[in-house]
Chain A
Amino acid sequence: MAKKIVVDPIPRIEGHLRIEATVNENTIIEEAYSSGTMWRGIEVILRGRDPRDAWAFAERICGVCTTVHALASVRCVEDALGIQIPVNARIIRNLMNATQQTQDHLVHFYHLHALDWVDVISALKADPKMTSDIAQSISSWPKSSAGYFKDLQQRLVGFVESGQLGIFSNGYWGHPAYKLPPEVNLIGVAHYLEALDFQKEIVKIHTIFGGKNPHPNYVVGGMACAIDPNSDTAINIERLAMVKKIIDDTQQFIDQVYIPDLIAIAGFYKDWLYGGGLGNYLSYGDFPETTLDDFKTLLWPRGAILNKDLTNVLDVDPRDASHVTEEVSHSWYTYTKGDDKGLHLWQGETTPAYTGPKPPFEYLDTDKKYSWLKTPRWKNHPMEVGPLARVLVAYAKGDPMIQDTVGRVLSKLQVGPEALFSTLGRTAARGIECKQTSGFMRHYYDQLVDNIKKGDYRTFNSDRWDPSTWPKECKGFGYSEAPRGSLGHWIQIENEKIKEYQIVVPSTWNASPRDGNGNVGAYEAALKGTPMADPGKPLEIIRTVHSFDPCLACASHVFDMNGEEVTSVRIV
């Protein structure tokens, strides 16, 4: 008989995500329903405000992705007002974005996802000498002596014996779906802690160019930082040297720690190729070498793939009303012309109308409306966005760097490209991409230094700063590829104020509920068909959902009012 499993909320993510799944008598997932359980209202907050201030609000909607929302926001306002930004501003924004991607992917792999594959408690049983041998066989990273692992293991023992697992609480330690030997688990835990320390360094680049972190300054028309090689307070030679040092260290960490770990861990899970899901992938593209409308210069290309067909990358135009739409058939909103009518984002509406059960409740009525997330579609297709989508679009378009890295990772794992269509493939794509964006950091650093050497210090274009220079009515679209996937901001400006603002964040694509035609969203599709070792400990569900790097805060709401919240798992 089919059973129903409810996981609410999914642990180690930002915001509220609830998964309801039915499993059959063989404990294989038959159907899954993804629900964002809190409402996001940023669109309502932005109405009537000065468009030049929108980025500062947008960067507060999420506790993780501050810079990516600021970036998409200034881009949409500049698009609406026809503002071209100076070369330095483009380079600095790209450098900050590459920094964000790199740091975010690293944190995701080690701190939000690794523990779905690495068993912390098993690491206590590892032999430090054997651990050291394995570590030295996979990487030249210097922290790999038997003594180093022994010390770490002792600290870990003390931590576990103190009874306060803290960051390691809420795990399903000892679950049969964990496959690593204790020594590889110990390497995983060691690098979890090292990465925790290291990630702090990477974002210092944001402080240098954005003036402060975690909420760096952006400005419509460019960047707010001044460049002057001879000034103490501006971006000068000393600060650029700091940036270069951080980039050197970052590339080393990714090459010597992240990528070898990814390959070592994945090698033990090659049989676990579940979680592929839709097979439809979308990327708006990012990292412009000239302007944002010059798509062929984007280092991350734009395109869509349907049904895993890598021979045919389709054109994408988020400005086109027939391309990107949102509907609310299964979402707690109402539309004036029918909830199943896909509206383009310049026609978007945000009218919340909760019709779900009154909390606390057992389960949602998934035949009706069941999520605070709207349902975005590309040409009526549900799409997956994020690292796997970007890597596949770039791979299919023949990007030489991506083809090379993908080829090397696949050959080390001795699997074919079809292995990419899986949870593990998504996780591998994130690592591949992280290596690539750390290379972008160096690329943009070099570009910036070259441009400054030419004597160009300009970072801000003030031509259209004064609202009296604006048209009475205009609209714009700003896009960015955030760590979690394609991000779009659509703005309409009237009489110098924001008339309407719509955001479609990556997690809304991936975590969307079913549409009016019954097509499931990316999480829902990915969970289908997954066997579960123990439905009471839904590690497999968490693993696949985490592989998308969910961020439901921007997708739904911002903060969590509960105190000691523990994920509840119920089997009905």
Chain B
Amino acid sequence: MKYNRINIIGLGNILFGDEGFGVEAIRAFEKDGEYPERVQFVDGGTQGLYLLDYIESCDAVMVFDALIPLDFDRRVYVYHKEELPAFIHRKMSSHQMGLSELLGIAQLHGRMPETFVMIGIPPRILDLGSGLSEDARELLDEAVVQGREILREWLGE
């Protein structure tokens, strides 16, 4: 399936260790390649409502995030639209508006992206202080490889 507008969004707070995994992942993803204009990388931080446009304005969304409710087990998780875990109800921010609410609003507006993928790792540490743990850093490459494979399909390559 080929998509015309693809947004790759990194979520999380870089001040809290592995909570910043999503943001670090899209930074690595973007730095390590050349992409056509229809692919946009978005450092979403812990924003909620402000990200609505990045979800509604495209037909394929890839989100990188730390999967806080799970325990770290040295692997990267990939969830496709139909198998999104219940814990995406985690309230992010912009006043407790989480990803699931944003998707709900997109639905109400009739502007759900056609496809949606979430890639992440459970965090190893969530302590104050910037920077990923060594363990999380080792998984960055793999997360990016997984993302790139999906992106290749989305681009029809």
Contact = CB atoms under 8 A, between A and B. Distances in A.
Interface stretch (B90-98, B113-121, B132-140, B142-150): B90-98
B128 A214 contact: no
Contacts of A561: 68, 126
Interface stretch (B31-39, B75-83, B104-112): B104-112
Contacts of A553: 46, 93
Contact of B91 (A45, A214, A560): A560
A125 interface: no
Residue among A60, A63, A199, A564 with max Cβ neighbours from chain B (10 Å): A63
Contacts of B130: 45, 57
Nearest to B43: A215
Interface in A90-113: 107, 111-112
Contacts of B49: 107, 111, 196, 199
Interface stretch (A11-19, A70-78, A288-296): A11-19
Nearest to A59: B45
B94 A13 contact: no
Given A193-B109, A214-B47, A558-B15, A563 B101 contact: no
Interface stretch (A159-167, A250-258, A419-427, A532-540): A159-167
B15 A112 contact: no
Contact of B13 (A112, A203, A558): A558
A564 B45 contact: no
A44 interface: yes
A166 B86 contact: no
B53 interface: yes
A107 B48 CA distance: 12
A456 B154 CA distance: 45
A12 B96 contact: yes
A212 interface: yes
A199 to B, nearest CB: 7
Given A196-B52, A560-B90, A45 B128 contact: yes
Contacts of B19: 559
B72 interface: no
Interface in A48-66: 57, 60-64, 66
B156 interface: no
Contact of A193 (B15, B48, B93, B108): B108
Contacts of A63: 13, 45-48, 92-94
Contacts of A167: 97, 101, 104-105
A197 interface: yes
Contact of B89 (A42, A203, A215, A563): A563
B95 A559 contact: no
Interface in A516-572: 551, 553, 558-565
Interface string A329-371: 0000000000000000000000000000000000000000000
A213 B68 CA distance: 25
A200 interface: yes
Contacts of B3: none
A57 B14 CA distance: 9
Contacts of A559: 13, 16, 19, 46, 92-93
A563 B96 contact: no
A164 B104 CA distance: 9
Contacts of B126: 561
A41 interface: yes
Interface residues of B, number: 40
Contacts of B45: 60, 63, 66, 214-215
Residue among B50, B68, B86, B94 with max Cβ neighbours from chain A (10 Å): B50
Contacts of A197: 109
Contacts of A214: 43-45, 47, 50-51
Contacts of B44: 214
A564 B89 CA distance: 6
Nearest to B14: A60
Interface in A481-519: none
B47 A45 contact: no
Given A63-B48, A167-B104, A215-B45, A563 B87 contact: yes
B138 to A, nearest CB: 23
A112 B87 contact: no
B13 A13 contact: no
B57 to A, nearest CB: 8
Contacts of A213: 50
Contacts of B100: 166
A155 interface: yes
A109 to B, nearest CB: 12
B63 to A, nearest CB: 15
Nearest to A41: B128
Given A63-B47, A213-B50, A214-B51, A111 B14 contact: no
Contact of B15 (A45, A560, A565): A45
Interface string A1-17: 00000000001111000
Contacts of A13: 95-96
Contact of A42 (B15, B69, B96): B15
B14 to A, nearest CB: 6
A62 B49 CA distance: 13
Interface string A22-64: 0000000000000000000110110000000000010011111
A62 B92 CA distance: 11
Given A66-B45, A558-B15, A559-B19, 14 more contacts: A13-B95, A14-B95, A62-B46, A63-B46, A64-B95, A159-B108, A167-B101, A199-B49, A214-B43, A214-B47, A214-B50, A559-B46, A559-B92, A563-B69
16 contacts: A12-B96, A13-B96, A41-B128, A60-B13, A63-B93, A107-B49, A112-B95, A164-B104, A166-B104, A167-B97, A200-B53, A558-B13, A558-B15, A563-B86, A564-B86, A564-B87
Q: Which 6 A-B pairs have the closest CB atoms?
A: A63-B93, A166-B104, A63-B46, A200-B53, A214-B47, A41-B128
